């Protein structure tokens, strides 16, 4: 579990100890959005929240995987942008040119 989520989990445990159900405790602690808490509340009322937990876990697993993929695909363009930016600053300060570009001579 991420360290940033631990205080919210502790808060949810506190609410559970005060007699709140899982959906309400998670909402009050900031673990669940209103929609997620409503889904869990409906599942608890129906008797078995297992399927809802499973679907929410799948959703967040997919969300985390897509986020990691997006960050990894953006890394190279960001590095290239920073290098070009730094090269441009260096070129303006020093007056030196390492590359003449792709322009033809003639």
pLDDT band at 17 (very low <50, low <70, confident <90, very high): very high
Contact 51, 43 (CB under 8 A): yes
CB atoms within 10 A of CB 20: 16
Phi-psi region of 20 (alpha: psi -120 to 50; beta: other; left: phi over 0): beta
**The tokens of 72 are what?**
């990894």
Q: Give the residue from 89, 19, 96, 105 showing the smallest Cα distance to 28.
A: 19
- Over residues 34-83, the pLDDT tens digits come to 988 998 889 888 888 888 889 888 988 999 999 999 988 999 999 999 99
CB atoms within 10 A of CB 50: 9
């Amino acid at each position: 579990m991420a360290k940033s989520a631990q205080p919210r989990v502790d808060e949810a445990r506190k609410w559970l100890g005060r007699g709140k159900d899982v959906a309400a405790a998670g909402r009050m602690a900031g673990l669940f959005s209103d929609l997620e808490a409503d889904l869990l509340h409906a599942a608890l009322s129906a008797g078995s929240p297992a399927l809802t937990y499973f679907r929410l876990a799948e959703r967040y697993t997919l969300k985390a995987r897509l986020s990691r993929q997006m960050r990894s695909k953006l890394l190279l363009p960001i590095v290239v942008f920073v290098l070009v930016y730094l090269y441009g600053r260096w070129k303006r300060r020093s007056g030196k040119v390492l590359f003449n570009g792709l322009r033809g001579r003639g």
